[in-house]
Structure 1
Amino acid sequence: MKRFTQGFYAYAFAMAVCLAAVGVFLLITPQSRTEHIPEVDYSISLANLRRAASYQVWAPERVPAGWVPTSSRATDEKGTATWRLGFATAKGPDDKRAHAMLAESNEKPAAEFANRLANTSTVTGTVRIGGVSWEQRVREDKNQRSLVRFLPDVTLVVTGTASWEELSTLAGSLRQQEKVTP
């Protein structure tokens, strides 16, 4: 009895029993290989923002097939209305998704809002999307690309790890929403 409770062989035997138990557990536990991305309905956030914001809200009219809205948060604090709407893009050729986010706000100064969301104040170029000009910004160390548009009453930032093409698609899908009166 002593040989199973003391010494190297007892330790090795106990480890073997533990590893065998873990192996059996892994074999009988169901494993899911399918991707699960939580999807949100952003219509309530959008409706609340359309009522609360002092500006006409911009929202995507239609996003590409395979895009999943993953987050939506609208806030209205001291007259500053902000909306952040996140998407997981469709799977690319490498079978991976990227992330894209629309952020809009009437926060002043507008440049501070844009710089914070883009994680940089450096403009690397401009691009025309849907007939309007957007600033391009890149933060290489975070693999983040951003499109910024300053309007008189609101700042729009489309940002994320998505490609320029995907970000441009999201920016091009934005349509001004009618103001809802409370």
Structure 2
Amino acid sequence: MERFTQGFYGYVVAMLVCLAGVGVFLLVTPQSRTEHIPKVDYSIDVANMRRAAPYQVWPPDPVPAGWIPTSSQMTDQKGVVSWRLGFATAKRPEAATRSHVMLAQSDEKPAAEFANRMANTGEVVGNVQIGGVTWEQRLRKDKNQRSLVRLLPDVTVVVTGTAQWDELSALAGSLKQQVKITS
């Protein structure tokens, strides 16, 4: 018996016991094959933006089918009101995972600096018409990031992420201007 508790054989027996324990643990632990994406309700941020922002807010209405809002953050710092809303896009048949898209809006000046920061590039690669308005297309290849930028007189709107152009266009096309709430 001492032969199996010391030296090389002892090492082998200990390893087999450990591996058997791990195997049993993996067999009895429940495994979930469904994705779990946390969903947020951004309606409070929209209402707060409509009160705080000196510009009319552009939330999606309705959100593209199958998209999940995953984050929402409104900031009001030094007279600059900004909102960032993140999404996981719908599953695409050709893609194994969902893409991520962010809608960003701000009255930060200069507007071009905000747009460049959100898009991670200042290089415009083209323009596209969505819902009768022109959006700048920007592409940062090394980060696989596509962006649509709309520079309005009082607000800059950026739709950006790892999603394809048609997905970004779907979100940009769903944006509806909301009237400012005055107290």
> Could you state the TM-score of these two structures normalised by the residue count of structure 1?
0.97
**1:140-165 CA-partner distances (Å, limit 9, x unpaired):** 11111000000000000000111100
Q: Give, in whole Å, the separation in 2 of the partners of 1:45 and 1:57.
A: 10
Task: Provide the rounded CA distance (Å) in 2 between the counterparts of 1:46 and 1:4.
Answer: 69
- Give the conservation status (yes or no) of the 8 Å contact 2:107–2:154: yes
- Establish whether residue 2 from structure 1 lines up as the match of residue 8 from structure 2: no
2:106 maps to: 105
Instruction: Report the counterpart of residue 44 of structure 1 in structure 2.
Output: 44
Distance 2:87 2:65 in 1: 12
TM-superposition CA deviations, 1:64-114 (whole Å, max 9, x none): 221100110000001100000011111001342111111000011111110
Distance in structure 2 (CA, Å) of the matches to 1:134 and 1:65 = 22
Aligned residue runs from structure 1 range 111-122, under 5 A: 111-122=112-123
Amino acid at match of 1:51: R
* Partner AA of 2:140 in structure 1: R
Counterpart of 1:81 in structure 2: which amino acid? V
What SS is found at the alignment partner of 2:13?
A: helix
Worse-matched range after superposition: 3-12 or 72-81: 3-12
Return the offset for 1:3: 2.6
Match status 1:28 vs 2:22: no
CA contact (8 A) 2:73 2:83 kept: yes
Deviation, structure 1 residue 180? 1.1
| Distance (Å, rounded) in 2 between the aligned partners of 1:61 and 1:166 | 15
Structure 2: unaligned runs, 5 residues or longer = none
Contact 2:130-2:173 within 8 A present in 1 as well: yes
| Partner SS for 1:117 | helix
Over aligned residues, Cα RMSD in angstroms? Answer: 1.0
Aligned residues: 182
Match of 2:167 in 1: 166
Q: Distance in 2 between matches of 1:170 and 1:114?
A: 17
User: AA paired with 2:44?
Assistant: I
CA distance in 2, matches of 1:81, 1:6: 69
SS at match of 1:90: coil
Structure 1 ranges of 4+ moved more than 4 A? none
- Sequence identity percentage: 74
**Counterpart of 1:63?**
63
Q: Partner amino acid for 1:173?
A: S
Contact 2:64 2:174 in 1 (8 A): no
Gaps of 5+ in 1: none
